[in-house]
């Protein structure tokens, strides 16, 4: 899927993380990538995160999936919305929606959530902590945008919905199929279905919080620390008041902390590994049958393309020379030469037709074998999780 007319540089300069933007159908030919029935089917599956949100008599209700197969037949006349998380992992056509937004690096991408609503359905006025592109897939939705919110904004917490106590509407648009609304973090928004069969695709991003980074990085670093690496003061002098923790001691103590977490290489390796962990690590995508180097060479010689698993997260950090560390699904792979070239190619494209000449290089083939056997790449775009 590609855009015919969208100025990425202008968008990044004036809108990204700054202000909302309405993009009227920029697609070459918009086609809704998942049918309502297929979405409902996903919400009934184990291992798929979904919520069914209703509103009756002014009260919101939230039901978490997996839903019973007959659940939708039992819905009343009141408006409702079904939200299914990470549909890109299950439907290749939904994964393809991410392609035009790849001007944002892989590591910032979270998932594509898909919603289905009946006439009047919505999830209430709220704000999200992340950037989102809301693509109207089917039917129409009225979006109203409002004020900038933060942690101090008063909320009405109902079920697990965090609705805004006050919504000051600043803009209002009705989105038609193919239209896109970009909403930066913190901007109040409310989308209400205009007519039945309203489907919206949220291409969502992620941005780690400082508290998460500090907590997780420090937890990682302490695993290698030893008990006898301690504060030492062989230069201690008698002090006037024994009650004071003096500036020199504080500086030395703080340096112990800062030195332990200040190594850029250790941070890069940890972050790449941490950030590339799968969203749902319990889903097992490993193939029934492991692949061998010879099989890889044959498939590539036959022109079969290598596909990244849409549930896998690929990113790399450049090292000296042409070397890179490739991060895939929580694992770090140090690559140089041909393997590094392959690693860069894999991070740049979700489907890759490999050069058979590259397959003469042991390191490159061995990287593919490892990634294939972990379920991170396949030679078949339809490969899904194992039951
Ligand atoms: C929806 O698709 O109904 C809600 C998406 C959002 O507001 O983030
Ligand atoms: Co939202």
- Taking only the tens place, the pLDDT of each residue in 194-231 is 999 999 999 999 999 999 999 999 999 999 999 999 99
| Residues 253, 304 within the same domain | no
> Is 348 domain-assigned?
yes
- Ligand 1 binding pocket (C-beta < 6 A) is 81, 115, 122-123, 128, 132, 189, 191, 200, 202
Same domain, yes or no, for 91 and 190?
A: yes
Residue 284 located in a structural domain: no
Question: What does the pLDDT read at residue 383?
Answer: 66
Query: CATH number for the domain including 32?
Result: 2.60.120.650
Structure tokens at 239: 């002090």
End-to-end CA separation in angstroms for the chain:
30
User: Structure pTM?
Assistant: 0.94
Is 195 inside a domain boundary?
A: yes
Percentage above 70 pLDDT, the chain: 98
Judge whether residue 145 has pLDDT over 90. yes
Residues 367, 308 within the same domain: yes
Q: How confident is the model at residue 385 (pLDDT cuts 50, 70, 90)?
A: low
Residue 250 to residue 123: CA distance in whole angstroms: 50
Average pLDDT of the chain?
Answer: 96
One DSSP character per residue, 207-276 reads ---HHHHHHHHHHHHHTT--TT-----TT----S-TT---HHHHHHHHHHHHHHH--HHHHHHHHHHHHT
pLDDT the model gives residue 5? 83
SS3 content of the chain, % helix, strand, coil (to 5): 30, 30, 45
User: What CATH number has the domain bearing residue 347?
Assistant: 3.40.366.30
In the reported structure, the alpha carbon of residue 136 is separated from the centroid of ligand 2 by a whole-number distance in angstroms of 14
Shared domain check, 227 and 163 = no
Judgement on whether residues 219 and 127 belong to the same structural domain of the protein: no
pLDDT computed for residue 187 by the predictor: 98
- Which DSSP state fits 179? -
Q: Which domain holds residue 225?
A: 210-231+244-259
- Are residue 77 and residue 201 in the same domain, yes or no? yes
Ligand 1, atom 5: nearest CA belongs to which residue? 202
Verify that 21 and 137 share a domain, yes or no.
Answer: yes
Cα–Cα distance between 64 and 62 in angstroms, integer?
A: 7
Report in angstroms the alpha-carbon separations of 184 from 5, 22, 96, 128, 199. 21, 12, 22, 8, 21
On whether both 176 and 225 belong to a single domain, the answer is no
Per-residue pLDDT at 160 exceeds 90: no
Asked if residue 170 and residue 122 are part of one domain, the reply reads yes
In a domain, 277, yes or no: no
**Per-residue confidence (pLDDT) for residue 58, from 0 to 100:** 87
* Ligand 2 centroid – CA 47 distance (Å): 23
- Does the pLDDT of residue 381 top 70, yes or no? no
Query: pLDDT digits over 181-194, tens only?
Result: 999 999 999 999 99
For 267-302, how does the pLDDT look when each residue is reduced to its tens digit (9 = 90+)? 999 999 999 999 999 999 999 999 999 999 999 999
pLDDT for position 10: 98
Whether residues 227 and 372 fall in one domain: no
| Cα of 127 from ligand 2 centre, angstroms | 6
| Pocket residue to mutate for ligand 1, from 135, 179, 202, 203, most atoms within 8 A of Cβ | 202
Q: How many domains does the chain have?
A: 3
Determine, yes or no, domain membership for 187. Answer: yes
Please give the distance, rounded to the nearest whole angstrom, from the Cα atom of residue 93 to the centre of ligand 2.
22
Rounded to an integer, the average pLDDT of 231-247 is 97
Instruction: Please choose, from the candidates 348, 358, 346, the residue with its C-alpha nearest in 3D space to the C-alpha of residue 293.
Output: 358
pLDDT in tens, 30-79: 999 999 999 999 999 999 999 999 998 889 999 999 999 999 999 989 99
Q: Is residue 22 part of a domain?
A: yes
Q: Which residue, judged by its Cα, is nearest atom 1 of ligand 1?
A: 115
Q: Does the residue 238 lie in any domain?
A: no
pLDDT in tens, 320-343: 999 999 999 999 999 999 999 999
Statement to judge: residues 52 and 89 lie in one domain: yes
* Count of CA atoms in the C-beta half-sphere (13 A) of 221: 20
**Is 216 domain-assigned?**
yes
Same domain membership, residue 222 and residue 183: no
Structure tokens at 211: 């508290």
């Amino acid at each position: 899927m590609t855009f015919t007319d969208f100025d990425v540089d202008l968008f990044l300069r004036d809108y990204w993380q700054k202000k909302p933007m309405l993009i009227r159908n920029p697609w070459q030919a918009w086609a809704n990538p998942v049918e309502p029935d297929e979405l409902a089917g996903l919400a009934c599956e184990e291992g798929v995160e979904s919520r069914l949100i209703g509103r009756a008599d002014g009260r919101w209700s939230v039901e978490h999936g997996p839903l019973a197969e007959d659940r939708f037949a039992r819905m009343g006349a009141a408006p409702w919305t079904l939200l299914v998380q990470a549909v890109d992992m299950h439907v290749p056509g939904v994964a393809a929606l991410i392609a035009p937004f790849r001007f944002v690096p892989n590591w910032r991408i979270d998932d594509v959530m898909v919603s289905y609503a009946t006439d009047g359905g919505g999830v209430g006025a709220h704000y999200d902590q992340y950037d989102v592109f809301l693509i109207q897939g089917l039917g129409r939705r009225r979006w109203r945008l409002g004020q900038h919110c933060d942690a101090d904004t008063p909320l009405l917490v109902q079920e697990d919905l965090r609705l805004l106590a006050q919504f000051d509407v600043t803009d209002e648009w009705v989105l038609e199929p193919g239209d896109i609304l970009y909403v930066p973090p913190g901007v109040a928004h409310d989308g209400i279905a205009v007519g039945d069969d309203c489907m919206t695709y949220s291409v969502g991003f992620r941005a780690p919080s400082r508290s998460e980074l500090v907590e997780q990085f420090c937890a990682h670093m302490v695993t290698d620390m030893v008990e006898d690496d301690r504060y030492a003061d062989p230069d201690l002098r008698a002090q006037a008041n024994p009650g004071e923790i003096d500036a020199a001691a504080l500086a030395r103590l703080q340096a112990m902390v800062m030195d332990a977490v200040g190594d850029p290489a250790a941070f890069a390796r940890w972050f790449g590994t941490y950030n590339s962990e799968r969203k749902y690590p319990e889903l097992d995508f490993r193939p029934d049958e492991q692949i061998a180097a010879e099989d890889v060479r044959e498939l590539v010689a036959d022109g079969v393309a290598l596909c990244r698993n849409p549930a896998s997260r690929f990113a790399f950090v450049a090292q000296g020379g042409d070397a890179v560390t490739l991060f895939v699904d929580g694992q770090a792979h140090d690559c140089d030469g041909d393997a590094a070239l392959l690693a860069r190619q894999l991070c740049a494209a979700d489907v890759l037709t490999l050069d058979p000449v590259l397959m003469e290089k042991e390191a490159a083939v061995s990287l593919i074998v490892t990634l294939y056997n972990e379920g991170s790449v396949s030679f078949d775009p339809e490969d899904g999780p194992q039951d």
